[in-house]
Amino acid sequence: MRYEPRALILSLVLVIGSACLLIFPFSPELNTDIIFDDEVAQRIDSQSKGDNFQSALMLRVSHDDGERLTNDLSRVQELMEIQNRFSDSMHNSNLSISKFQTPIQAWEDAFGSRNSSLMDADKWADVFENTSEEGWCHENATKEEKNAFEISMILLPRGSNLGIACPSFAGSSATQAPDANEMIWILWLDSEESKSANFRLLDEWAIATSLETNYTFEAAGIEGLFAKAIDIAQNDLSNLIIPSALLVLTLLLIGLRNWKVASITTLSALLVIGAEFGFMSAMGYNFSVIDGVAIPIIFAVAVDGAFWYSRSGREKNEVRNMLLLAMLTTVAAISLALFSQIKAQRSLGLVMMVGIILDWLVTRYVLENFYIEQRKSISEQNPYKSRSTQLVWVWPCLLIGLLLLALSAPMGSQTLDIDQFLPEGDPTISELETLQSKYVLASSAVTWVVIDLEEDSIEDAEDFSNFQTQLSQHPSIIALETGLSRSPLVIGIIDIPENTTIKQALNENRDSIFSEDIRLYEEGAVTGVYLAVLIDGQNADAAMQFSEDVNQLISYNGLTGYTGGELETGASLSKSFEETRIIQILLAGVVVSVMAYVILRKIRPSLRIAIGTVALGLAIDGVASHLGGRGVNTAPAVLLGMGFAADYLSHAASGHTPTKNDMQARWGAALSSMAIFILLAFTTFPPAQDTGRLLAISILMAVALATSLAWVSGYSDEEE
């Protein structure tokens, strides 16, 4: 056959785009910055100077025998030597450390403030001689000693005997070394890479150092879960493309009985996938691992055109218009994801839309004539006139059934959590839970507080001082209790004497243990300050309430500012999703109806498409709840399910009397797509599993609904 120039140009563009993957490989990420937008954290990241707590990574340190660590001076000194070599060894791994906080370094600084040294001591008693009997947690302690007390409380396991760090604790003494079998080190890496990439390099160093020494180093914390989720998703992705292509090829061979159509359609889908991801990677697009879910969707959409052009008995122009309507209504339904508060949903929505549009372009401008030429000679089929009149009742019954399914679902939504990106029972989750049970730092969540003020204003400084004092009393803040004093974990808090500006106070105060400078800068000018407040990381409702309280406190003190943080943002997004999910489904129906009317210029079929799309969306939302819980992670599948419903209903709403060939095309495309999503449901990555299950069910519902609508539309057409 002879191809038109535009078909050759489009094919060449697809090949070039796919070739871009060789230069700009698909490298998806997963972290909180990818999942959602936290404006407060983003402002702190862009306007703060020096290192802050949100860029910190954790190392868990213990001896290979699991026995005494901190009260064995020889082991402490060995760790100090490793610590001193740390920067050099990391620099040799293309990374360098800009800052670190460890209990051992804090102790050395504390003893150094009284002219003693752990490194030079022969036994612990040598460094106790110049230290006060009250230890490091009393009012007269030096700044370094107070620092050492706070770090010991945070970076040693709960219940550890703090010894000299705070003799006022039961069982502790100023003549005892802190007693713990393990500890945490906090590090800030000087790197432009993502936090996930830095975690991997830190983990490599930890493994290598563990093999070289008698100590076990483990990169720990929530970044470990993200790294594991990325590995699982990438492994699923690499193991999914070839099976999906083979499955599409096999199903097309069975359904169309034409090896040319089957192979060309499969190849075109692969080119669309390669071109989309290649061009977007070349443009520097920041993919999330969730975007990989779009790959089987592109395969599923590709088979639609192949079946309708090659199998149905409709004329070329009729199929062309029908597929245009299907593409536009599908994209219209999915387009609402672009307005989601969830960044990962916006990304997936964009990737799906681009893939669907590219699929349509290839089908329309490259493969259309090929499909028509390969179509077997089809004699005029007898329309199902008798069935059309007898089965029109199926359409309203299915709509009622879908609504009843939606109403039967339990209310409520899951809170967005990192656990949702890992398989149930994954050992990485257990490791994090163990870490959280042992350490104050690991079990806490950070709420960021940003206050807008002028650093040279005495009035702003006074208002901020009052705000700090009141904030510190909030019961949700984790505090270090000695029995004699209470130190709330508010990172960045400073002492502000009367008639003093923020600038003067910061010049006179030491840096926070986890933050060098709390000021925010824009074009060199100070625009505000920030605080990091540690609260219970296991209570999302309390985090939201704390945020509301802090915002009220900000207003009460005549300040302007706002709060943020991963726990608060995730919880608020889940709450917002629960409040707006029905509205989103209804809006998708409105957008679909408008798009259908623009193409069809008929009210009745446009409304039928919209009603069926909304009914299926409500039903799939209910199915998600029945299968394990609806949430922000299932919302894209609901919208895409509505997109497929709009697709199939668009085929059926044209008023064309249903024929055997139409039914074969409709069900052949549907069963092929279902098989692809069933394959997706057997992956390990939970978001892919959920999407696969929900979309397989969506397509089954959609094709049944479309079949019943075809009978109704055919009957209406006969009546007219």
Question: What share of the chain has pLDDT > 70, as a percent?
Answer: 90
Question: Strand 182-190 vs strand 96-101: parallel, antiparallel, or unpaired?
Answer: antiparallel
Which residues touch 179 (CB under 8 Å, ≥6 apart)? 68, 70, 71, 160, 161, 163
Please write the tens of the pLDDT for every residue from 447-471: 889 999 888 889 988 998 899 889 9
pLDDT at 93: 53
Token pair of 529, please?
């300050």
Residue 92 has pLDDT above 70, yes or no: no
Token pair of 621, please?
């939302």
Pick from 282-286, 329-333, 709-713: least confident = 709-713
Q: How far apart are CA 503 and CA 234, in angstroms?
A: 48
Q: How far apart are CA 489 and CA 392, in angstroms?
A: 67
Question: Which one is predicted more confidently, 513 or 616?
Answer: 616
Q: Which amino acid is at 341?
A: Q
- The three-class DSSP label of residue 443 is helix
For 223-249, what is the mean pLDDT?
85
pLDDT at 167: 86
Q: How far apart are CA 566 and CA 438, in angstroms?
A: 21
Question: Strand 486-488 vs strand 215-220: parallel, antiparallel, or unpaired?
Answer: unpaired
E strands, 425-539, are: 444-452, 479-481, 486-488, 490-491, 519-522, 525-536
- How sure is the predictor about 16, in pLDDT bands with cuts at 50, 70 and 90? very high
What is the phi/psi pair of residue 425, to 5°?
A: 85, 10
Please write the tens of the pLDDT for every residue from 280-292: 999 989 888 888 8
pLDDT at 686: 87
The b/e string for 198-236 (b: 16+ C-beta within 10 A; e otherwise) is bbbbbbebbeebbeeeebbbbbbbbbbbbbbbbbbbbeb
Q: How far apart are CA 651 and CA 700, in angstroms?
A: 15
Q: How far apart are CA 630 and CA 626, in angstroms?
A: 8
What is the phi/psi pair of residue 99, to 5°?
A: -170, 150
Residue 564 has pLDDT above 80, yes or no: yes
**Mean pLDDT of all residues in the chain?**
84
pLDDT at 378: 44
pLDDT at 717: 46
What string of H, E and C letters represents the secondary structure of 171-205? CCCCCCCCECCEEEEEEEEECCCCHHHHHHHHHHH
Question: Which one is predicted more confidently, 578 or 325?
Answer: 325
Q: How many CB atoms lie within 10 A of CB 269?
A: 27
Pick from 257-261, 505-509, 602-606: least confident = 505-509
For the chain, report the end-to-end CA distance as a whole number of angstroms.
40
Q: How many CA atoms lie within 13 A of 709 on its CB side?
A: 29
Token pair of 584, please?
């989103």
For 682-698, what is the mean pLDDT?
90
Residue 64 has pLDDT above 90, yes or no: yes
- How sure is the predictor about 2, in pLDDT bands with cuts at 50, 70 and 90? low
pLDDT at 192: 67
Among the ranges 301-310, 313-322, 353-362, which has the highest mean pLDDT value? 353-362
Residue 87 has pLDDT above 60, yes or no: no
- The three-class DSSP label of residue 549 is helix
What is the phi/psi pair of residue 620, to 5°?
A: -65, -35
Domain ranges, ordered by start, for the chain: 51-229, 454-558
pLDDT at 359: 93
Using the structure block, give the residue that is written with the tokens 């945020």: 547
Helix 686-719 with 635-652: angle, nearest 10 deg: 20
Among the ranges 25-29, 256-260, 352-356, which has the highest mean pLDDT value? 352-356
Q: How many CB atoms lie within 10 A of CB 705?
A: 27
